[in-house]
Amino acid sequence: MTAPTWIYENFEPAGSAIGYRITRKLDEVQSPFQKIEIYESTDWGNLMLIDGAMMLTTRDNFLYHEMMSHPALFTHADPKQVVIIGGGDCGTLREVLKHPGVAKAVQCDIDEQVTRMAEKYFPELCESNNDPRAELLFDDGIAYMKNAAPGSLDIVIVDSTDPVGPAEGLFNKSFYESCLRALKDDGILVQQSESPLVLLDLINEMRGEMGKAGFKTFKTLPFPQPCYPTGWWSCTLARKSGGFDFREKDAAAKKFDTKYYSADIHRGAATLPPFVAAALGE
Protein backbone atom coordinates (compact mmCIF):
# COMPACT_ATOMS: atom_id res chain seq x y z
CA MET A 1 0.00 0.00 0.00
CA THR A 2 1.39 3.40 -0.95
CA ALA A 3 -1.37 5.51 0.59
CA PRO A 4 -3.74 5.02 3.53
CA THR A 5 -6.87 3.03 2.84
CA TRP A 6 -9.67 1.68 5.02
CA ILE A 7 -10.53 -1.73 6.42
CA TYR A 8 -13.99 -2.51 7.75
CA GLU A 9 -15.60 -5.18 9.87
CA ASN A 10 -19.29 -5.58 9.09
CA PHE A 11 -21.43 -6.76 11.99
CA GLU A 12 -24.59 -8.22 10.55
CA PRO A 13 -26.53 -8.73 13.84
CA ALA A 14 -26.42 -4.99 14.52
CA GLY A 15 -26.56 -3.78 10.93
CA SER A 16 -23.41 -1.79 11.58
CA ALA A 17 -19.70 -1.69 10.79
CA ILE A 18 -16.48 -0.32 12.19
CA GLY A 19 -13.57 0.88 10.09
CA TYR A 20 -9.95 1.88 10.50
CA ARG A 21 -7.62 3.82 8.24
CA ILE A 22 -4.62 1.63 7.57
CA THR A 23 -1.28 2.14 5.88
CA ARG A 24 -0.23 -1.47 5.24
CA LYS A 25 -0.70 -5.12 6.09
CA LEU A 26 2.13 -6.25 8.35
CA ASP A 27 1.50 -9.99 8.47
CA GLU A 28 -0.95 -12.81 7.83
CA VAL A 29 -0.96 -16.39 9.09
CA GLN A 30 -3.44 -19.17 8.48
CA SER A 31 -3.18 -21.35 11.57
CA PRO A 32 -4.86 -24.77 11.85
CA PHE A 33 -7.77 -22.95 13.52
CA GLN A 34 -8.20 -19.48 12.02
CA LYS A 35 -6.74 -16.69 9.89
CA ILE A 36 -4.81 -14.03 11.80
CA GLU A 37 -4.03 -10.68 10.17
CA ILE A 38 -2.01 -7.74 11.44
CA TYR A 39 -2.37 -4.23 10.01
CA GLU A 40 -0.68 -0.91 10.71
CA SER A 41 -3.14 1.94 11.18
CA THR A 42 -2.70 5.70 11.03
CA ASP A 43 -4.21 6.43 14.46
CA TRP A 44 -4.82 3.22 16.41
CA GLY A 45 -1.44 1.52 16.28
CA ASN A 46 -1.42 -2.09 15.12
CA LEU A 47 -4.64 -4.03 14.58
CA MET A 48 -5.20 -7.79 14.95
CA LEU A 49 -8.05 -9.44 13.07
CA ILE A 50 -9.06 -13.08 13.43
CA ASP A 51 -11.19 -14.48 10.62
CA GLY A 52 -12.01 -10.91 9.63
CA ALA A 53 -13.18 -9.86 13.12
CA MET A 54 -11.36 -7.11 15.01
CA MET A 55 -9.62 -8.53 18.07
CA LEU A 56 -7.51 -5.68 19.40
CA THR A 57 -5.73 -2.43 18.64
CA THR A 58 -2.68 -0.95 20.28
CA ARG A 59 -4.68 2.11 21.31
CA ASP A 60 -7.70 0.67 23.10
CA ASN A 61 -6.95 -2.91 24.21
CA PHE A 62 -6.36 -1.79 27.81
CA LEU A 63 -10.09 -1.28 28.32
CA TYR A 64 -10.89 -4.93 27.68
CA HIS A 65 -7.88 -6.47 29.38
CA GLU A 66 -8.28 -4.43 32.56
CA MET A 67 -12.00 -5.10 32.88
CA MET A 68 -11.60 -8.82 32.20
CA SER A 69 -9.16 -9.15 35.09
CA HIS A 70 -9.26 -6.54 37.87
CA PRO A 71 -12.97 -6.59 38.79
CA ALA A 72 -12.81 -10.34 39.42
CA LEU A 73 -9.49 -10.23 41.25
CA PHE A 74 -10.61 -7.39 43.51
CA THR A 75 -13.95 -9.12 44.16
CA HIS A 76 -12.29 -12.33 45.34
CA ALA A 77 -10.99 -12.14 48.91
CA ASP A 78 -7.54 -13.56 48.14
CA PRO A 79 -7.02 -14.85 44.58
CA LYS A 80 -3.95 -17.05 44.22
CA GLN A 81 -4.69 -19.63 41.50
CA VAL A 82 -5.93 -18.16 38.20
CA VAL A 83 -6.62 -19.80 34.86
CA ILE A 84 -7.20 -17.89 31.63
CA ILE A 85 -8.93 -19.83 28.88
CA GLY A 86 -8.08 -18.20 25.56
CA GLY A 87 -6.36 -14.85 25.96
CA GLY A 88 -3.64 -15.67 23.45
CA ASP A 89 -2.63 -12.04 23.02
CA CYS A 90 -1.45 -12.20 26.67
CA GLY A 91 -2.92 -8.84 27.70
CA THR A 92 -5.20 -10.34 30.32
CA LEU A 93 -2.32 -12.43 31.68
CA ARG A 94 -0.25 -9.26 32.07
CA GLU A 95 -3.05 -7.58 34.06
CA VAL A 96 -3.63 -10.63 36.29
CA LEU A 97 0.05 -10.79 37.19
CA LYS A 98 0.02 -7.17 38.35
CA HIS A 99 -1.61 -8.57 41.51
CA PRO A 100 1.27 -9.60 43.80
CA GLY A 101 -0.88 -12.10 45.67
CA VAL A 102 -1.40 -14.28 42.60
CA ALA A 103 0.78 -17.38 42.98
CA LYS A 104 0.16 -18.88 39.54
CA ALA A 105 -1.62 -17.88 36.36
CA VAL A 106 -2.10 -20.45 33.61
CA GLN A 107 -3.05 -19.25 30.13
CA CYS A 108 -4.47 -21.98 27.91
CA ASP A 109 -5.14 -20.95 24.31
CA ILE A 110 -5.68 -23.44 21.52
CA ASP A 111 -3.85 -21.34 18.90
CA GLU A 112 -0.15 -20.69 19.49
CA GLN A 113 -0.02 -18.40 16.47
CA VAL A 114 -2.08 -15.74 18.27
CA THR A 115 0.60 -15.50 20.96
CA ARG A 116 3.45 -15.51 18.43
CA MET A 117 1.79 -12.64 16.54
CA ALA A 118 1.24 -10.74 19.80
CA GLU A 119 4.88 -11.17 20.79
CA LYS A 120 5.94 -9.64 17.48
CA TYR A 121 3.36 -6.86 16.99
CA PHE A 122 2.03 -6.19 20.51
CA PRO A 123 5.12 -6.85 22.67
CA GLU A 124 3.83 -4.60 25.45
CA LEU A 125 1.04 -7.13 26.08
CA CYS A 126 3.57 -9.92 26.53
CA GLU A 127 5.70 -8.25 29.20
CA SER A 128 4.70 -10.82 31.84
CA ASN A 129 5.08 -13.94 29.72
CA ASN A 130 8.36 -14.79 31.43
CA ASP A 131 7.07 -14.10 34.92
CA PRO A 132 7.86 -17.23 36.98
CA ARG A 133 4.19 -17.33 38.04
CA ALA A 134 3.02 -17.57 34.42
CA GLU A 135 2.45 -20.79 32.50
CA LEU A 136 1.55 -20.59 28.81
CA LEU A 137 -0.16 -23.64 27.34
CA PHE A 138 -1.30 -24.12 23.76
CA ASP A 139 -4.06 -26.65 24.10
CA ASP A 140 -7.80 -27.17 24.10
CA GLY A 141 -9.24 -25.03 26.90
CA ILE A 142 -12.39 -27.15 27.12
CA ALA A 143 -10.32 -30.27 27.79
CA TYR A 144 -8.06 -28.37 30.19
CA MET A 145 -10.98 -27.33 32.37
CA LYS A 146 -12.52 -30.79 32.20
CA ASN A 147 -9.28 -32.22 33.60
CA ALA A 148 -8.64 -29.51 36.21
CA ALA A 149 -8.51 -30.73 39.80
CA PRO A 150 -11.76 -30.14 41.69
CA GLY A 151 -11.70 -27.13 43.98
CA SER A 152 -8.26 -26.05 42.83
CA LEU A 153 -8.87 -22.60 41.33
CA ASP A 154 -9.82 -19.19 42.64
CA ILE A 155 -10.63 -17.50 39.34
CA VAL A 156 -11.31 -18.72 35.80
CA ILE A 157 -11.24 -16.04 33.10
CA VAL A 158 -12.72 -17.00 29.74
CA ASP A 159 -11.04 -14.55 27.37
CA SER A 160 -12.42 -15.91 24.13
CA THR A 161 -13.46 -14.76 20.70
CA ASP A 162 -17.15 -14.65 19.76
CA PRO A 163 -19.14 -17.89 20.29
CA VAL A 164 -18.35 -19.30 16.85
CA GLY A 165 -15.57 -21.51 15.51
CA PRO A 166 -12.96 -22.59 18.09
CA ALA A 167 -14.74 -20.63 20.87
CA GLU A 168 -18.22 -22.07 20.35
CA GLY A 169 -17.77 -24.74 23.03
CA LEU A 170 -16.92 -22.12 25.67
CA PHE A 171 -20.50 -20.84 25.96
CA ASN A 172 -22.47 -23.89 27.08
CA LYS A 173 -23.58 -25.81 30.19
CA SER A 174 -21.00 -28.58 29.80
CA PHE A 175 -18.05 -26.17 29.84
CA TYR A 176 -19.48 -24.18 32.73
CA GLU A 177 -19.91 -27.40 34.73
CA SER A 178 -16.17 -28.02 34.34
CA CYS A 179 -15.46 -24.48 35.57
CA LEU A 180 -17.82 -24.91 38.53
CA ARG A 181 -16.14 -28.14 39.56
CA ALA A 182 -12.62 -26.67 39.28
CA LEU A 183 -13.43 -23.54 41.29
CA LYS A 184 -13.22 -23.37 45.06
CA ASP A 185 -16.42 -22.55 46.94
CA ASP A 186 -15.62 -18.82 46.86
CA GLY A 187 -14.27 -18.92 43.31
CA ILE A 188 -15.28 -16.63 40.45
CA LEU A 189 -15.86 -17.31 36.78
CA VAL A 190 -15.60 -14.32 34.44
CA GLN A 191 -16.34 -14.41 30.74
CA GLN A 192 -16.43 -11.79 28.01
CA SER A 193 -20.11 -11.39 27.25
CA GLU A 194 -20.46 -9.34 24.08
CA SER A 195 -22.41 -6.10 23.58
CA PRO A 196 -25.12 -5.21 26.12
CA LEU A 197 -26.59 -2.84 23.54
CA VAL A 198 -27.50 -5.35 20.82
CA LEU A 199 -26.72 -8.81 22.24
CA LEU A 200 -28.69 -8.89 25.50
CA ASP A 201 -30.34 -12.14 24.38
CA LEU A 202 -26.92 -13.77 24.12
CA ILE A 203 -25.94 -12.50 27.59
CA ASN A 204 -29.16 -13.89 29.02
CA GLU A 205 -28.59 -17.19 27.26
CA MET A 206 -25.03 -17.37 28.59
CA ARG A 207 -26.16 -16.64 32.14
CA GLY A 208 -28.88 -19.26 31.71
CA GLU A 209 -26.31 -21.90 30.75
CA MET A 210 -24.17 -20.88 33.73
CA GLY A 211 -27.23 -21.31 35.95
CA LYS A 212 -27.96 -24.76 34.54
CA ALA A 213 -24.36 -25.70 35.38
CA GLY A 214 -24.89 -24.74 39.01
CA PHE A 215 -23.75 -21.13 39.32
CA LYS A 216 -26.16 -19.17 41.52
CA THR A 217 -25.24 -15.48 41.30
CA PHE A 218 -24.23 -13.30 38.36
CA LYS A 219 -23.01 -9.79 37.65
CA THR A 220 -22.56 -8.23 34.22
CA LEU A 221 -20.23 -5.22 33.97
CA PRO A 222 -20.40 -3.05 30.83
CA PHE A 223 -17.42 -1.06 29.59
CA PRO A 224 -16.44 0.89 26.46
CA GLN A 225 -14.55 -0.96 23.74
CA PRO A 226 -14.30 1.08 20.52
CA CYS A 227 -12.91 -1.70 18.33
CA TYR A 228 -15.78 -4.13 19.06
CA PRO A 229 -19.28 -4.01 17.53
CA THR A 230 -21.34 -1.07 18.89
CA GLY A 231 -18.30 0.18 20.87
CA TRP A 232 -19.87 -1.08 24.13
CA TRP A 233 -18.87 -4.44 25.59
CA SER A 234 -19.22 -6.41 28.82
CA CYS A 235 -17.89 -9.15 31.04
CA THR A 236 -20.05 -11.38 33.23
CA LEU A 237 -19.00 -12.73 36.62
CA ALA A 238 -20.55 -15.86 38.14
CA ARG A 239 -20.23 -17.50 41.56
CA LYS A 240 -21.47 -20.61 43.34
CA SER A 241 -22.93 -18.36 46.03
CA GLY A 242 -22.47 -14.91 47.48
CA GLY A 243 -22.46 -11.42 46.08
CA PHE A 244 -20.12 -9.18 44.16
CA ASP A 245 -19.07 -6.53 46.64
CA PHE A 246 -15.42 -5.81 45.97
CA ARG A 247 -12.43 -4.80 48.06
CA GLU A 248 -12.83 -1.09 47.40
CA LYS A 249 -10.02 0.02 49.71
CA ASP A 250 -7.59 -2.41 48.11
CA ALA A 251 -8.63 -1.34 44.61
CA ALA A 252 -8.23 2.33 45.52
CA ALA A 253 -4.80 1.71 47.07
CA LYS A 254 -3.46 -0.64 44.37
CA LYS A 255 0.29 -0.35 43.79
CA PHE A 256 0.16 -0.86 40.02
CA ASP A 257 -0.89 1.40 37.18
CA THR A 258 -4.03 1.03 35.10
CA LYS A 259 -5.35 3.27 32.34
CA TYR A 260 -9.08 2.62 32.84
CA TYR A 261 -9.81 0.46 35.86
CA SER A 262 -10.21 2.11 39.26
CA ALA A 263 -12.34 1.60 42.34
CA ASP A 264 -14.71 4.30 41.07
CA ILE A 265 -14.94 2.73 37.60
CA HIS A 266 -15.64 -0.66 39.19
CA ARG A 267 -18.39 0.81 41.33
CA GLY A 268 -19.91 2.61 38.36
CA ALA A 269 -19.81 -0.43 36.09
CA ALA A 270 -21.73 -2.42 38.72
CA THR A 271 -24.65 0.01 38.35
CA LEU A 272 -26.34 -1.11 35.14
CA PRO A 273 -28.38 1.20 32.92
CA PRO A 274 -32.09 0.58 33.56
CA PHE A 275 -32.78 -1.17 30.25
CA VAL A 276 -29.88 -3.60 30.78
CA ALA A 277 -30.79 -4.25 34.41
CA ALA A 278 -34.41 -4.95 33.41
CA ALA A 279 -33.39 -7.32 30.61
CA LEU A 280 -31.01 -9.25 32.88
CA GLY A 281 -33.31 -9.26 35.90
CA GLU A 282 -30.91 -7.32 38.13
Catalytic hit among 60, 159, 185, 201: 159
Q: What whole-number distance in Å separates Cα of residue 69 and Cα of residue 141?
A: 18
Q: Which residues of 196-222 are buried (b: 16+ CB within 10 A; e: fewer)?
A: bbbbbebbeebbebbeebebeebbbbb
Give CA 224 to chain center in angstroms.
Answer: 13
Q: How many CA atoms lie within 13 A of 189 on its CB side?
A: 33
Q: What whole-number distance in Å separates Cα of residue 75 and Cα of residue 113?
A: 32
140 is catalytic: no
Q: Which residues are catalytic?
A: 159
